[in-house]
Structure 1
């Protein structure tokens, strides 16, 4: 008679147990994607802010208003040195949804933006203590331009 080949029940159980152990140790690494998603959202916001400020600067240059150190409105967006100011009437108006989808607080010539919080924070320190935010610093001189920095150490 010919002997049939195959796996015994014990061999199958051992394989299932090993797969179960691997799943328990590896699954948390792959399932905890929330922090990566939050950090990626901040990178997207940084790109939106940088892109919007570049477009506004281009429009200001076309209008010949890129050298003004005083606040000048370009298509309803407050600018200084041609770049959007760090206010809701500046970069907040240039980036669609910034005021509705994010919490933001002005601190001097810097706008600190983080994930939506209820109630809306009134101090920038409430957003920065999360270690998950974007800072937009407006142009302070004719040659400085804007600065957009992401902090995502504890998202």
Structure 2
């Protein structure tokens, strides 16, 4: 008479083989998410470089690429005369009411100017201001916090110390901007 099913030894052998495969293959698959995030950040870095190049070109067409400070807003009472105000920078959305500011042809490290420069930026990204720099990271790695004593004012902060791109605007005509890639871990 023929017996249906598997013996206990056959089942144990199959379980051992699956265990070995899991130990060898699982770390490779677990690291794919980090690799995908780093690849996305590299793609964003390329987009930023392209947008910065377009912005610089638009200022260069207007002869403003070497100016230490260019803005689309009106001049205030106590601001230096060597700065350029009410400039037409040729970037859609930049106006007196929606100011865009540039240093030596490149954007100031503010969300407002970059939102207009990167009008079609994917909603997965968030910009976080940190001192004189602007950080670009995944929205899931940020949170909104209210300022103490000012419940109507919120700031975006990072929830981790990796997985972002740092934009540093130029400080002189010859320095240029810096994009620094900090990989995900």
TM interval, shorter chain, is 0.7 to 0.9
Pairwise CA RMSD of aligned residues?
2.9
Change (3 A) 1:20 1:80: same
Q: Is the 8 A contact 1:84 1:91 kept in 2?
A: yes
Deviation, 1:99, is 7.9
Change (3 A) 1:98 1:109: farther
1:35 alignment partner in structure 2: 34
1:81 alignment partner in structure 2: 104
Deviation, 1:142, is 0.7
Q: TM-score, normalised by structure 2?
A: 0.64
Q: Deviations over 1:101-154 (max 9, x none)?
A: 32222223210122104633636xx42733111110111111111111110152
Pairwise mapping of residues 99-118 of structure 1 onto structure 2 (< 5 A)?
Answer: 100-117=123-140
Q: Structure 2 unaligned runs (5+)?
A: 1-9, 73-88, 95-99, 146-154
Q: Structure 1: how far apart are the matches of 2:124 and 2:25? A: 31
Pairwise mapping of residues 1-155 of structure 1 onto structure 2 (< 5 A)?
Answer: 20-32=18-30, 33-73=32-72, 74=89, 75=91, 76=94, 77-98=100-121, 100-117=123-140, 119-120=143-144, 122=155, 126-127=157-158, 129-154=160-185
Change (3 A) 1:49 1:90: same
Higher normalized helix content (fraction of residues): 1
Q: Which runs of 4+ in 1 moved over 6 A?
A: 12-15
Q: TM-score, normalised by structure 1?
A: 0.75
Q: Structure 2: how far apart are the matches of 1:99 and 1:115? A: 10
Local SS of the residue matching 2:180: strand
Deviation, 1:20, is 2.5
Q: Is the 8 A contact 1:53 1:91 kept in 2?
A: no
Deviation, 1:94, is 1.5
Q: Structure 1 unaligned runs (5+)?
A: 1-11
1:4 alignment partner in structure 2: none
Q: Deviations over 1:28-54 (max 9, x none)?
A: 133221111111111111111111111
Q: How many residues align?
A: 144
Q: Is the 8 A contact 1:66 1:81 kept in 2?
A: yes
